[in-house]
Structure 1
Amino acid sequence: MPILSGCCFCFDLKVGSTIIGALNLIGALMNSIMFAILLVMVALFGAGTRKVLEDPAFLEDDDYADVKEEQKQILELVLDHMDAVKLALYILLGISLLCVVTSSMLIHGVRRKRRGLLLPYIVQEVINIIVFIALIIGTFVILGTHKVVVSSMIGVIGGILIHLYFMLVVISQYQALGLIRMHEEISMK
């Protein structure tokens, strides 16, 4: 028996799962491009920031020495956490590329009624949820509980809840396809 009987109160499971697969595919493609660009930007930012900090003329002007010293401290703080940011971006890029594959499998599995092709998407969603929970915890540990950090993490928590619902819809479609297959096998006897 499927957990849910439909998706978003207006679609059946097959249409809902196909829409979820298409939305995830589009989102994964956009995320992959975005994370690749961010990795390039972080690498360029790190190289440029090191050059600014090494420049002796950076602190030369006496009128703004205290402001420039504060800027230097902020840039050094950013550089100290640059490896953690790069690692997080590499992980997110890998997950986005994997999501492209699993979303394509979900769409194909729903259209062809191939139950086994829905499993990689379900596993991918479990991995996504675990990674995003780890990202939330890591963000709070590294950056603290600043107002901006907390408000952005509330958005991530909302995203996790949406992914949980999408995963329930796909699990329900998986169960429905199992019932259809079982019914076909019984009727063939």
Structure 2
Amino acid sequence: MPLLKKCCCCCCDLRQGSLFIGIISLLLIGIVEAVVAIYCLLNVEEAKKRVKFDNTVTFGIIDENSDVAAFIFFSILLLVAVIYIIVCLVLIHGVRNKRRFLMLPWIFFTFLNMVMAFSGGILTLINSHGHTGPIIVGVIVLFISGTWIYFTCVVFSFFQALQDGDYW
């Protein structure tokens, strides 16, 4: 039995909602993250000014003033973005062809990313020490994470509905 009966966000059924979520996650997370990573890799000096790499990030292995830490970080970011783009394309293909096991990579990958983002939002709120900036960032991260966790529940409900034979 599916977790949800209908996608409340766009007043449509689970299949249309899952397809919409796949396209939105491809565009908003996958493509944007890849563009940011490529931009930062091409402009490492400017990116290093905005993202501080200290010894807690590099565990003292890499000199914090070198470009190596930034290259490693943004290369990993690009790798994660490419994986997410592939996972989103597999989700869209799985939803269009009603192949439920093609949805699992997106469900797992997105759920884990959003749990980490949700935890980061809570940690940001805890470590804000009453400053307005981190509180606003923490609340925004929590809201976005909650929304994407709901989206994961929509896609998982469609996955369950396909198992029950509701969409054949």
Q: Structure 1 length as normaliser, TM-score? A: 0.67
Identity of aligned residues (%): 29
The answer to which structure has the higher helix fraction is 1
Whole-angstrom CA distance in 2 between matches of 1:169 and 1:46 = 36
Whole-angstrom CA distance in 2 between matches of 1:138 and 1:88 = 21
Once the two structures are superposed, what CA deviation does each residue of 1:43-95 show, in whole Å capped at 9, x if it has no partner? 21378x7xxxxxxxxxxxxxxxxxxxxxxxxx9xx564795794765554433
What amino acid is the match of 2:95? V
> What is aligned with 1:153?
138
Whole-angstrom CA distance in 1 between matches of 2:53 and 2:33 = 24
1:15-164 pair list within 5 angstroms = 15-27=16-28, 28-41=30-43, 43-45=44-46, 78=52, 80=54, 86=70, 89=74, 91-136=76-121, 144-145=128-129, 146-164=131-149
Larger Rg: 1
Whole-angstrom CA distance in 2 between matches of 1:120 and 1:166 = 14
Deviation, 1:127, is 1.9
What amino acid is the match of 1:3? L
Deviation, 1:30, is 1.7
Unaligned runs of 5+ in 2: 59-68
Unaligned runs of 5+ in 1: 50-74, 185-189
- The answer (yes or no) to whether the contact 2:91–2:102 under 8 Å persists in 1 is yes
* Number of residue pairs matched by the alignment: 153
- The answer (yes or no) to whether the contact 2:37–2:78 under 8 Å persists in 1 is yes
Q: 1:39 to 1:82 in 2, by over 3 A?
A: farther
Once the two structures are superposed, what CA deviation does each residue of 1:24-55 show, in whole Å capped at 9, x if it has no partner? 111111221013313444x21378x7xxxxxx
- The answer (yes or no) to whether the contact 1:95–1:128 under 8 Å persists in 2 is no
Deviation, 1:130, is 3.2
> What is aligned with 2:2?
2
Question: Over the residues paired in the alignment, what is the CA RMSD in angstroms?
Answer: 3.3
> What is aligned with 1:166?
151
Q: 1:150 to 1:89 in 2, by over 3 A?
A: farther
- The answer (yes or no) to whether the contact 1:109–1:118 under 8 Å persists in 2 is yes
The one of the two structures with greater contact order (alpha-carbon pairs below 8 A, sep at least 6) is 1
